[in-house]
Amino acid sequence: MYSRFLPALFCLAGLLWTSMASGQVAGVDLAKANNCLACHQVDKKRVGPAFNVIAQRFTGQEGAEAYLAGAIRNGGRGRWGAVPMPAQPQVSSADARLLAAWILSLAGGKPAANQ
């Protein structure tokens, strides 16, 4: 009875996996394009905290994506230590939200590509 649904289920699972993997690559590319990697790394502290540490702190919090997008565009001070994050107003609101969503996706581990 369920055998007729298995091919569609496998196809859907493949699409979801491909979408998640391409989202990881797109996130890294967006971070590179906006110079985020000058101060942040995915899995280790540089000038600012590692993206996966940021993700762990904010994942599951209501409004986390909007908060991080605002922090990207407006900068901040005192959240992660003495070094302030300068405002990045050249990053569009849409790109800031995409970056924030990508950062939050790192809570479970490293991204699939381009670490």
**Tens digit of pLDDT at every position of the chain (115 positions):** 555 654 554 444 443 443 444 445 688 999 999 999 999 999 999 999 999 999 999 999 999 999 999 999 999 999 899 999 999 999 999 999 999 999 999 997 554 443 3
Write down the pTM of the prediction: 0.73
Which run of H or E residues covers position 96?
helix 93-105
Write out the two tokens for 107. 């809570």
pLDDT at 76: 92
pLDDT at 109: 57
Q: Rounded distance, CA 112 to CA 54, Å?
A: 18
Domains and CATH numbers, the chain: 2-108 (1.10.760.10)
pLDDT at 108: 79
pLDDT at 112: 40
pLDDT at 4: 63
Write out the two tokens for 99. 């970056």
Q: Rounded distance, CA 88 to CA 40, Å?
A: 14
